[in-house]
Structures are given as C-alpha cells and as structure tokens.
Copies of this chain bind each other. A is one copy, B any other.
Amino acid sequence: MLSIGQLSARTGVKVPTIRYYEKMGLIAPPDRSVGNQRRYEPDALRRLSFIKHGRDLGLSLEAIAELIDLADDPARSCADADRIAREHLSAVQDKIARLKRLERELTRIASRCTGHTIGECYVIQALSDHALCDDEH
C-alpha cells in the first residue's frame, strides 16, 4: 500500500496532480486509511505511469481517458487507439510547421536590429507593419 506521496515520488506526478486526476475520473478513488488518507494498491503505479507517459507525449487528458477505456478491454479493435495516436501525430506536425514559420520570421526580425533607438528598431517596425513580413500568419 502506497501513500499519495510515495506514489508521487515513484511516478514523478505531483501530489495535487494525482488528486486532480482522481477528481477528473482518470484514476479510481483508492481506499483510505483510518485517518482518511489515500492508500494505493501497487496497481495504481501502472495506471498513473500510463497517464504520465501519455501527458509527456502531449496527449490531452480526454485522449488518455479514451485510451484507458480501450486498454481495459483487450478484445476490442486496435483501430481506435491507432486513430488517437495518428490524430495527435498530425496535430503535432501542424504545430511544428507553424512554429517553424514563426522561427523564420522572428530570426529575420531580430537579426535586422541595428542596435540603436526604438525609433529605428526593426522589431517594432515589423510588428507595426504587416507588409514587412515574409509570409502570412
């Protein structure tokens, strides 16, 4: 039996976050000690690690909840889990593409700075005038 602090230390998920996951229905409410403190079965380690792993990969709690449902029923088709992963992958790829455009734009803006006064500052000028941009954003 683990206290919430031990569970936290072993999974790297902070204590208030574990309680938050419980409230959100991602982990089952555990048994309590006589003094009303949470006591977890070792099994909780696996489930919480699953959640943390998904979060580290950037999945939403909603997506993770869906995957937990799936994982609990090994007979079901894998297609849904696959779909969730692929949808997330394409969201990540979109984000990368957008950030790369921003990176180009910011590099261009920052590199033109002549180091003098605001009146001549390219950063400010570029923000004031969209026409100075390389592409649409």
Q: Which residues of A contact B (CB under 8 A)?
A: 46, 49-50, 53-54, 56-58, 67, 70-71, 73-79, 81-82, 84-86, 88-89, 92-93, 95-96, 99-100, 102-103, 105-107, 109-110, 113-121, 123-124, 127-128, 130, 137
Contacts and interface: CB of A to CB of B under 8 A. Distances in A.
B118 A81 contact: yes
B127 A78 contact: no
**Interface SS, A side:** helix
A77 to B, nearest CB: 6
Given A58-B102, A103-B96, A77 B123 contact: no
A115 B89 CA distance: 17
A88 B76 CA distance: 45
